[in-house]
Amino acid sequence: MRRLTLAVLVGLAGCTLTACGTSHPSTRANPTATVRPSPSPSCPEAGGTRITFGADHAHGPLYGSGTSGVVLVNQSDRDWCGWFPLPSAIGDERHPTRRYLGFDTARDGTVADVAHAVAELRRRGVTHVVLVGASAGARDALVAATRITPRVDAVVALSPERRAYVLAAAPKLRVPVLVASAATDTWVPAADARAIAAAVPAEYRHEVVVPGSRHGIDLATYDAPAAGRTAITAFLTRYAPAR
């Protein structure tokens, strides 16, 4: 077993998602988000209300309550439904006191959709926003966080894909970033995730490497390695406080 890097837990005492695309985001809110019926019964745990938002008409479920929000940016082989074991993993599934917005994009995934999702949450009264992305979604979340204004509160990047433009964006980040990866991930090597983490300014950098080969969203489910779940829970507790 590799040594776990748990820098995220230092300083978090007392404490805690499509894919491709690099277009420039807009931070304009959509004043008339379209309300649709609740999500498909195939994903009943999502709950909430299906909405459409942003200039590209991304759509997905919004559920939960409160003034803290989490934008879920999924990986390329999943849709928004794959994220919804996350609230269970962090103990926020029965009476969620954060707002969760997952979405499928209109253009195979763009950084812009992340910004539109943030703007939609803010339009609805959310004051603290954390981006949580997986794999390709993690790279989009990292890049988006360098462009969105006002800035989001933090980013959780699960198995972020290494790309030159992501490595170029990482030093520009000015919000806390948690990079999580698995030691024997065969899709995105842990070394790639560590390279991205190393490019984040030290004062904002948090990292956890867990044993095994889980990738992306699977690092944030109820049965994921405890060290990763603990780190994610502590990060969200600090930067998207339940209220």
pLDDT above 90 as % of the chain = 52
Q: Does residue 66 form part of some domain?
A: yes
pLDDT digits (tens, 9 = 90+) for 112-159: 899 999 999 999 999 999 999 999 999 999 999 999 999 999 999 999
Q: Residue 17: what pLDDT?
A: 32
For the ranges 24-28, 80-84, 186-190, the maximum mean pLDDT occurs at 186-190
Beta strand 49-53 pairing with 34-36 = antiparallel
**More confident of the two residues 46 and 10:** 46
Q: Does residue 198 form part of some domain?
A: yes
Contact residues for 202 (Cβ-Cβ < 8 A; gap 6+)? none
Q: Does residue 2 form part of some domain?
A: no
pLDDT digits (tens, 9 = 90+) for 45-56: 566 788 888 887
Q: Residue 221: what pLDDT?
A: 85
Q: Does residue 1 form part of some domain?
A: no
Q: Does residue 50 form part of some domain?
A: yes
User: In angstroms, what CA-CA distances link 147 with 27, 74, 141, 196, 221?
Assistant: 9, 19, 10, 17, 29
Q: Residue 10: what pLDDT?
A: 33
How high does pLDDT run on average in the chain?
80
Q: Does residue 218 form part of some domain?
A: yes
Is the pTM value of this prediction over 0.85?
Answer: no
Q: Residue 243: what pLDDT?
A: 74
Q: Residue 170: what pLDDT?
A: 98
Single-letter residue type at 227: A
Q: Does residue 27 form part of some domain?
A: yes
Confidence label for 94 from pLDDT (cuts 50, 70 and 90): low
Domain span at residue 30 reads 7-239
**More confident of the two residues 137 and 97:** 137
Q: What CATH number is associated with residue 172?
A: 3.40.50.1820
Q: Evaluate the omega torsion of the peptide bond into residue 211 and state whether it is cis, within 30 degrees of 0.
A: no
Q: Does residue 25 form part of some domain?
A: yes
Q: Residue 27: what pLDDT?
A: 36
Q: What is the DSSP string of 53-95?
A: ETTTTEEEEEEE-SSEEEEEE--TT--GGGGTTHHHHTT-SSS
Asked which of 81-85, 112-116, 206-210 is least confident by mean pLDDT, the reply is 81-85
Asked which of 15-19, 83-87, 165-169, 217-221 is least confident by mean pLDDT, the reply is 15-19
**More confident of the two residues 81 and 146:** 146
- Domain count along the chain: 1
pLDDT above 70 as % of the chain = 75
For the ranges 14-28, 40-54, 103-117, 213-227, the maximum mean pLDDT occurs at 213-227
